[in-house]
Amino acid sequence: MSNLNSLLQTLLTDLPDLRPQMYFKSSLNALCRAIEDVVLAGSEAPLVIASFQQERFYRQETRRYQRIAQQTDHVYVLAAPEPESSFAIASDQYETIPLKAEDSLAKEKHLIIIGQDYTACLVCREQQKVLRSVEQSQRYEGIWTFERQVCLHAAGLLLDRIREYRPELAPKVNKAKQQYCLAAESTTPPLPVLQSRVFGQRLVTYLQASQYKLLKAYRALSAKERKERFANAMTAAIRRSLDPKEVLAVAVNELGKVFEHCRCILYCCDRTDEQVEIEYEFVAPGLPPLQGTPWPISTNPLLSVALAQERAIAIADVSEVQNLRQDPQFAAKLEQWQIHSWLISPIRHQGELLGVLELHHGGPLAYQWHENDIALVEAIATQAGVALTQAQAFSDSESLNRNLAALEQTRSNLIAIVGHELRTPLSTIQVCLESLDSEPDISPVFRQALLSTALEDLGRLRDLIQDILILSRLEGGQIYNQIEAIEFQETLELALSSVRSSTNSKDLPTISVEVDPHLPTIQVDAQGLEEVLNRILDNACKFTGADGEVMIQALISSDDDCLEVIVADTGRGIEPSRLESIFDSFYQEEDFLRRSKGGTGLGLAICRQVIQGMNGKIWAESAGRDQGSAFHFTLPLEAPNDSQNLMSVTQASYP
């Protein structure tokens, strides 16, 4: 086949009076649809020749050409077929002619109609230099005319090409030439009687449809731009501040400004929550604010669906959803909150639910949520999830830094205090031993004094090492974990005996005990409780003069689920700002170089570890310096105290 020339170029050469024009693809599509509709609206059987650049373009018009083929036997469709396509197989309704890829016709678009009363011809060639990124912006150069002479000439050229591609159609092609007067090509054709009214209506319709598609594309671009703007605003807020309150407030305010008559709320929640408090809100004028209001979670059927499906749920008219009306109280709240249309989007990050973002439309009419609205809200919810996660990570890092700083301070205190507590007694012991070694004739009284001093400092070293070991083993859960039912009175008596035996009775303050003898048994570790009582009583006696008083009380707490023990004294007291710090490891109220009482600062830290290990609480109370102090701790009961009438309180005094 030698004739592979462009049909447009051939027409321009054969008919020099023709002047090509530039067309956009949308305009060509509108023209083709209008011309085809003239054929479908008419009653005659014209010759129809359509040439498509690619088979995929033809596939979009298959139904139309099947309808056209029902009116005429002479319908010919040319196109460059796709690989392994069935396009080359002849159709029962009209003829299909596969073009070679190198044929110039495969780069052109043609539509030629030859009827008895009218003709139409559209021949265009695509401009190859135009960018192909947007199909609707493709440009074509060509001619469009109703002149019969041009239409007949173009139809004759195309029929010749059809006959070359498919020789078996030669008889049908020759018949078409005779039937539609293509052989003679009369120079004095009758005036075209194209149904201009139908053509004009169809052309306007398709141009309007194209304009609608263009407006729809503009709306899509506007929605995308709006979505990108919100995403950028959220990103900027995240970069500007890692405070979750600021980031989420920006998200709610930015989203609330988009929708009229809407309330935008955001709150953090978990699947197991019954209700939460609304934390962030943007309210349009006329709607009641809900910030700080308890918000139902488990009883909200719409929210349950959104959380179960893990996607946004949009309701155009809540009055039409029966599930939201089954609960009269919930339905009344919907009316109170003026929620007519509802959009809910869960806030998730890496599969974990962090919160919910909601839009409540309270306008006079129900609002139909569009896909762009839902996509925008989901995008904001995604950004909010990232913000919450990053803020939580920042908060965790701050907490970790504080813990590291506290650990570093503890290490410094440990080195300073332990170093001092070790060096001082070791120095004393060294001096005592050197004196005993260098002075063999020392008097017995002085010798005994040196030995007593050395033994006392050895005891300090033993206590220091013992405290460190106990605290370490407590933090590892290795001691004082044998929980059993015991009587508090017995353990208290053991602790009091230990205090009396370890301290000169002349230096002890007066110790008063007020304990109900019929207290229920408690669930504790006996040795651990004795350790706590020993240390608290030792501190109370150490910081209270011989003319002071230490009072011990034990009573059932107000909620009847534990035993509360109180050890109060009239001694030195504690500054209110330090009531929590005294339970820290190595805490010393006085500088270790100037303090009047020895110790490592581990006693109360050990007490806290023991009490917490037995599911109790410990705290201190004091009005200030030289105003005494009171240490409270609770212990779990073995069983509820069923006694309603307490027995008389046993009071005992110890010198």
User: Do residues 372 and 268 share a domain?
Assistant: yes
Asked if the model's pLDDT at residue 154 lies above 90, the reply is: yes
Q: CB–CB of 377/343 below 8 Å?
A: yes
Arithmetic mean of pLDDT, 196-210 = 68
- As beta bridge partners, residue 78 has 51, 97
Arithmetic mean of pLDDT, 568-578 = 90
What pLDDT, on the 0 to 100 scale, is given for residue 194?
Answer: 54
Residue 217 lies in a domain: no
User: Do residues 172 and 84 share a domain?
Assistant: yes
Where among 179, 194, 209 does a domain terminate?
A: 194
Q: What is the 3-state secondary structure (H, E, C) of 302-334?
A: HHHHHHHHCCCEEECCHHHCHHHCCCHHHHHHH
Residue 491 lies in a domain: yes
User: Do residues 40 and 114 share a domain?
Assistant: yes
pLDDT tier at 560, thresholds 50, 70, 90: low
What pLDDT, on the 0 to 100 scale, is given for residue 90?
Answer: 56
Asked if the model's pLDDT at residue 348 lies above 70, the reply is: yes
Residue 114 lies in a domain: yes
Highest-confidence range of 128-142, 200-214, 629-643, by mean pLDDT?
629-643
Q: List, in sequence order, the alpha helices (H) in 570-644.
A: 603-613
| Integer Cα distance of 22 and 130 in angstroms | 12
Q: Evaluate if pTM is beyond 0.85.
A: no
User: Do residues 386 and 242 share a domain?
Assistant: yes
User: Do residues 513 and 378 share a domain?
Assistant: no
Q: CB–CB of 307/269 below 8 Å?
A: no
Residue 649 lies in a domain: yes
User: Do residues 135 and 281 share a domain?
Assistant: no
User: Do residues 180 and 306 share a domain?
Assistant: no
What pLDDT, on the 0 to 100 scale, is given for residue 589?
Answer: 61
Q: What is the CATH number of the domain that holds 615?
A: 3.30.565.10
Asked if the model's pLDDT at residue 567 lies above 90, the reply is: yes
| Integer Cα distance of 128 and 303 in angstroms | 54
Structure tokens at 319: 């009055």
Q: Which residue has the higher pLDDT, 53 or 504?
A: 53
User: Do residues 605 and 540 share a domain?
Assistant: yes
| Integer Cα distance of 145 and 152 in angstroms | 11
User: Do residues 79 and 26 share a domain?
Assistant: yes
Q: What is the CATH number of the domain that holds 270?
A: 3.30.450.40
Chain segment 531-545, per-residue pLDDT in tens: 899 989 988 888 888
What pLDDT, on the 0 to 100 scale, is given for residue 246?
Answer: 78
User: Which has the closest alpha carbon to 156: 129, 131, 181, 124?
Assistant: 181
Q: Cite the beta strand spans of 532-649 per DSSP E.
A: 549-556, 562-569, 618-621, 629-636
What pLDDT, on the 0 to 100 scale, is given for residue 309?
Answer: 81
User: Do residues 384 and 513 share a domain?
Assistant: no
Residues in the chain: 655
User: Strand, helix or coil at 647?
Assistant: coil
Chain segment 174-187, per-residue pLDDT in tens: 999 998 887 654 45
Q: CB–CB of 73/95 below 8 Å?
A: no
Residue 456 lies in a domain: no
What pLDDT, on the 0 to 100 scale, is given for residue 122?
Answer: 92
- As beta bridge partners, residue 618 has 633
Where among 363, 394, 425 does a domain terminate?
A: 394
What pLDDT, on the 0 to 100 scale, is given for residue 129?
Answer: 57
Q: Is 599 left (phi over 0), alpha (psi -120 to 50) or beta?
A: left
Arithmetic mean of pLDDT, 545-551 = 89
Q: Which residue has the higher pLDDT, 287 or 251?
A: 287
User: Do residues 484 and 534 share a domain?
Assistant: yes
Other CB atoms within 10 A of residue 463 CB = 16
User: Do residues 241 and 169 share a domain?
Assistant: no
Residue with tokens 């009076």: 17
Residue 599 lies in a domain: yes
Domain that holds residue 381: 226-394
Chain segment 36-56, per-residue pLDDT in tens: 888 888 888 999 999 988 888
Where among 377, 394, 411 does a domain terminate?
A: 394
What pLDDT, on the 0 to 100 scale, is given for residue 163?
Answer: 92
Arithmetic mean of pLDDT, 498-527 = 83
Residue 209 lies in a domain: no
Q: List, in sequence order, the alpha helices (H) in 439-508.
A: 444-475, 488-502
pLDDT tier at 31, thresholds 50, 70, 90: confident
Asked if the model's pLDDT at residue 595 lies above 60, the reply is: no
Chain segment 385-399, per-residue pLDDT in tens: 877 787 777 777 877
Q: What is the CATH number of the domain that holds 72?
A: 3.30.870
Asked if the model's pLDDT at residue 123 lies above 90, the reply is: yes
Asked if the model's pLDDT at residue 645 lies above 50, the reply is: no
Residue 417 lies in a domain: no
Domain count of the fold of the chain:
3
